Structure 1
Amino acid sequence: MWFLPGPVEEEPDYLPPGPRAEPSETSIVSGWIKAEAACAASLARVAGRLGALDDRLRRGPEGWRHRLALLEAADLSWFLGDRVGPDRLALWISLRLSGVQDDAGALARLGWAVRRLTGGPGPEDDLSGFLDRRDAETITEGAEPFADRASAWLDIMQAARALHPITRACMGFHLWSLAGLGQTGDRMESAVTAGRIAASESRGAVFAPLAMGGAGGLRAGGAPAERLVRWLDGMETACLSAMRYLDDIEDWSARAKSATVSLSGKTPPALCRALTEWPMVSAPMAQQLTGSSRAAVQRNLAWMEAQGLIREVTGQGRFRMWKAA
């Protein structure tokens, strides 16, 4: 009939293409709250692993934190494509030595990561100061200042204070590029920042390990629930790897102390501390760390190698390096 309405048709979209409205802070945080509720059991288990690591580091020597920070930064470099080993990183940090094939920029980034993983104020207090980007304003004409982008990211993190620090760290890591912070930085900054946030309530552990034993938890993609599941699995593996590593170092420290108790002088205990704090040491590096003479360092290194406490890893006659056996 002519007076009845015709078939309903979808109205064509005549709106011009353009930027769409960004999701609100409330909608972003609510998605992560639901993801945390769905992963409550796994989150409790991982929090227990991190708490055990925190208590272990609180009761252990200061060198353990530095050693774990070196290993974490080296593992992050492999995940991000720089592929710097702990020995090369140790030489760069202690003596500023690098090979011809080494990337000075990658080593500088890793040095920054080790400094931030071993202490200093947290990222949620002052993100620009944490990243050493106080003077970074604009990269290109018309670009948003970095301070504004950092402020937007901090506002979202502040709105998510109800979340557990581990969940909040995961959310902050995956929102890093969405906030525009990846335009002038790299994923190393986001991973280090997330590691510090996850351990913000710890007393012994300055950071939560994320890349030790594999960096599967840092892969992006999927809904918040899927990302949080991968994050928790990766952090649990990393915490277990760190605990096993500390077990080995503690056993070696006890064995080295028992073997060197009859030796006189300050060099043997200083060498033991250096080998506990650093994954590998060279003779010049040990000389600088212990404050002993070159002859005393070489003599004690040779004695410890003969006793089976350390082993030489380069197999060369010059530029040799030793590690705890």
Structure 2
Amino acid sequence: MKPQASTFPDDFDDPLITTEGDVGAHEDDLWFLPGPLEEEPDDLPPGPRAEPSDIAVIDDWAKAEAAQAARLAKVAGRLGALDDRLLRGPDGWRHRLALIEAADLSWLAGDRVSSDRLALWISMRLSGAQDDPNALARVGWAVRRLMGGPGPMVDLAAFLDRRDPENIEDATERLEERAGGWLEVMKSAVHLHPITRACMGFHLWSLAGLGQQGDQIEAAVTAARITASDGKGANFAPLAMGGAGGLRASGLPPERLARWLDGMETACLTAMRHLDYIETWSARTEAEMSSLSGKTPPALRAVLTEWPLLSAPMAEALTGTRSWTHNV
């Protein structure tokens, strides 16, 4: 009788070899293995995105400038007309426009300093009980910088009149470093039109770490000076006269530049209307004062041209006389 061959493998002691019938049961015993993967909804917030490079940022603004080329040329023409008129006019016009622009910028920052209160503060350091001295100081700084002096591209820290505190921590980035980074981007964008470059610099202000309380005023004044850097009559380009919609920070560079141009054109036209009014008033006042003798009438007229509001103490201080009320 021939023995029947076994159906089991000879190496049945090897645990790695199993028969087909054992596979399912064997896998069921592996309770420690993870179950099948199932797709779950991704409810986690997105992580921080990498900041675009300086070249990419400048390129975006260059594309925005190309898209707004016609409008940019029109607004540049408005600014050129204002510059020419201020070049031919008295110095008091520049001072008056600087007061109005600074007062309008204060409303943008929430300080809400009117031009008459600002005039009293700058001329005689007079303020009311309801006035915030810090707000007056910020707006007073804006008037001084809008009137002239070294521009922001020379020494931004000196232009801002800011310095790091003495007890600054070592890990904190210093103002000079932050200002230097912002200036580096601005100098790399020298091929852009000054209006476009100023708009870009305004919107990069906070991203560069230059923001603090009142930073909107600082950013706007800096942009206003950069825009008029090639001018001969205008020390700054008006941005807030007639409304500050152009300074609203939202949207992509094309949208921001379009709003900037709209706001700047409105501001330039508003400034021209102010000059029309004061020029007409000055001519009429000169004719009516022609019969008056002495130095006081023309001095008073010049002061009234320069300041939007004039009190008796201001007039005495600015004209250098105490008898002007009797002469007039």
TM bucket normalised to smaller: 0.7 to 0.9
1:174·1:220 contact (CA, 8 Å) conserved in 2? yes
In the alignment, does 2:234 pair up with 1:198? no
Name the residue aligned to 1:186.
Answer: 215
Q: How does 1:140-289 map to 2 (within 5 A)?
A: 142-183=171-212, 186-289=215-318
Q: TM-score, normalised by structure 2?
A: 0.84
1:120 partner SS: coil
Name the residue aligned to 2:21.
Answer: none
Q: How does 1:75-114 map to 2 (within 5 A)?
A: 75-114=104-143
Q: C-alpha deviations, 1:75-104, integer Å up to 9, x for none?
A: 011111111111000000000000000000
In the alignment, does 2:101 pair up with 1:72? yes
CA–CA separation in structure 2 for the residues paired with 1:222 and 1:138: 38
Name the residue aligned to 1:315.
Answer: none
2:228·2:235 contact (CA, 8 Å) conserved in 1? yes
Structure 2, unmatched stretches of 5+, are: 1-37
2:242 partner SS: coil
Q: C-alpha deviations, 1:45-99, integer Å up to 9, x for none?
A: 0000000000000000000000000000000111111111110000000000000
Query: 1:259 Cα deviation (Å)?
Result: 1.1
CA–CA separation in structure 2 for the residues paired with 1:185 and 1:77: 9
CA–CA separation in structure 1 for the residues paired with 2:320 and 2:296: 8
Q: TM-score, normalised by structure 1?
A: 0.85
Largest Rg, 1 or 2: 2
Q: C-alpha deviations, 1:155-197, integer Å up to 9, x for none?
A: 1001100000000000000000000100465211000000000
Query: 1:297 Cα deviation (Å)?
Result: 2.3
Q: How does 1:6-21 map to 2 (within 5 A)?
A: 20-21=49-50
Q: What is the alpha-carbon root mean square deviation over aligned residues? A: 2.2
CA–CA separation in structure 1 for the residues paired with 2:61 and 2:279: 38
Amino acid at match of 1:257: E
Q: Which moved more, 1:17-26 or 1:258-267?
A: 17-26
1:88 partner SS: helix
2:211 partner SS: helix
Amino acid at match of 1:297: W
2:191 partner SS: coil
1:29·1:160 contact (CA, 8 Å) conserved in 2? yes
CA–CA separation in structure 2 for the residues paired with 1:183 and 1:84: 19
CA–CA separation in structure 2 for the residues paired with 1:199 and 1:207: 5
* Aligned positions, number: 289
1:283·1:297 contact (CA, 8 Å) conserved in 2? no
Amino acid at match of 1:28: V
2:138·2:214 contact (CA, 8 Å) conserved in 1? no
CA–CA separation in structure 2 for the residues paired with 1:280 and 1:218: 27
In the alignment, does 2:309 pair up with 1:299? no
Structure 1, unmatched stretches of 5+, are: 1-8, 304-325
2:85 to 47, 56, 62: 56
2:108·2:216 contact (CA, 8 Å) conserved in 1? no
Name the residue aligned to 1:310.
Answer: none
1:44 partner SS: helix
